[in-house]
Amino acid sequence: MIDMHCHLDLYKDPQKVILQCKEQNFYILSVTTTPKAWHGTKALAQDCERIRTSLGLHPQLAHERYHEVDLFDELISQAKYVGEIGLDGSKEYTQYQDVQTRVFNHILSTVEKSGGRIMSIHSRGAVDLVLDCLANYQDAGIPILHWFTGTKTQLKRAISMGCWFSVGPAMLATEKGKSLVKKMPNDRVLTETDGPFAKLNRKSIMPWDVQKATFQLSEVWQLKPEQTDVVLISNLKNLLRKNM
Ligand code: MN
């Protein structure tokens, strides 16, 4: 199973969660929300080949942590993956749009100069702005839009720009989410949880709950769950092959 967007470091007992993921041979992209969290989060999974840590600066923290872009620049050479980065246009954060955009552009420019990376990107309420920024940094690597909540027109644009998508149980539980996933190219879709932020049955979702997304995807794709697993694993391998 694959969890392409999980905040392992934010669980109450990350070691316990990681142990269980290791036993089940999970592939996980362990995303971070600030550059300061990079070393500690990476250390959590130091002996797990299948858990990869990504260097990020979450858009909801950009107004408090913009000065950490210098640390981001310092650490980029150590990081093979980038995320969580992006923009958040929801009500509480529109007042910080300028600083968010400055931070996001700075990061994209650093990533581009460093040869590009696989990037896990937040775009809630800001899909067009995120895509505008990405269009200016076409050599920044491969964007994975996580938990995409835009319109069908925005989705079309994202697909035409080469974006990938990671989708989780919460997104696949809604009709809107399902209809978006139907329009995504099957060979650019991966599963995610966004745990512990996302909830399942009112509890923080765990990486292994990603299995629910696999079942939901099977319905959308009209495949057997084991066939869906084959598609997802082959997608992950194709993606990793593109990472320089
Ligand atoms: Mn997240």
pLDDT tens-digit profile of 60-94? 999 999 999 999 999 999 999 999 999 999 999 99
Q: Is the peptide bond prior to 196 cis by the omega test (within 30 degrees of 0)?
A: yes
Calculate how far, in angstroms, residue 194's C-alpha sits from the geometric centre of ligand 1: 5
pLDDT band at residue 242 under the 50/70/90 scheme: confident
Please report how the helices 152-160 and 175-183 are oriented relative to each other, as an axis angle in degrees rounded to 10: 30
pLDDT digits (tens, 9 = 90+) for 90-117: 999 999 999 999 999 999 999 999 999 9
Calculate how far, in angstroms, residue 167's C-alpha sits from the geometric centre of ligand 1: 12
Calculate how far, in angstroms, residue 84's C-alpha sits from the geometric centre of ligand 1: 6
Calculate how far, in angstroms, residue 92's C-alpha sits from the geometric centre of ligand 1: 17
Instruction: Please provide the DSSP assignment of 39-65 as one string.
Output: HHHHHHTTT-TTEEEEE---GGGHHHH
Calculate how far, in angstroms, residue 29's C-alpha sits from the geometric centre of ligand 1: 11
Q: What is the pLDDT of residue 244?
A: 58
Helix (H) and strand (E) counts in the chain? 11, 10
Calculate how far, in angstroms, residue 5's C-alpha sits from the geometric centre of ligand 1: 6
Calculate how far, in angstroms, residue 196's C-alpha sits from the geometric centre of ligand 1: 9
Least confident of 113-117, 133-137, 198-202: 198-202
Cα 136 to Cα 30: distance, rounded to the nearest angstrom: 27
How crowded is residue 102: how many other Cβ atoms within 10 Å of its Cβ? 13
Question: Ion ligand 1 — residues with CB under 5 Å?
Answer: 84, 194
Calculate how far, in angstroms, residue 156's C-alpha sits from the geometric centre of ligand 1: 23
What is the chain's mean pLDDT, rounded? 97
DSSP letter at 93 equals G
Calculate how far, in angstroms, residue 62's C-alpha sits from the geometric centre of ligand 1: 14
Calculate how far, in angstroms, residue 148's C-alpha sits from the geometric centre of ligand 1: 12
Q: In the predicted model, is pLDDT for residue 243 greater than 90?
A: no
Calculate how far, in angstroms, residue 197's C-alpha sits from the geometric centre of ligand 1: 7
Calculate how far, in angstroms, residue 129's C-alpha sits from the geometric centre of ligand 1: 18
* Torsion of the alpha carbons at 41, 43, 44 and 49, rounded to the nearest 10: 110
Q: Is the pTM of this model over 0.85?
A: yes
pLDDT digits (tens, 9 = 90+) for 156-168: 999 999 999 999 9
Calculate how far, in angstroms, residue 204's C-alpha sits from the geometric centre of ligand 1: 13
Q: In the predicted model, is pLDDT for residue 20 greater than 70?
A: yes
Calculate how far, in angstroms, residue 58's C-alpha sits from the geometric centre of ligand 1: 8
Q: 């999974």: which residue's tokens?
A: 45
Cα 23 to Cα 220: distance, rounded to the nearest angstrom: 29
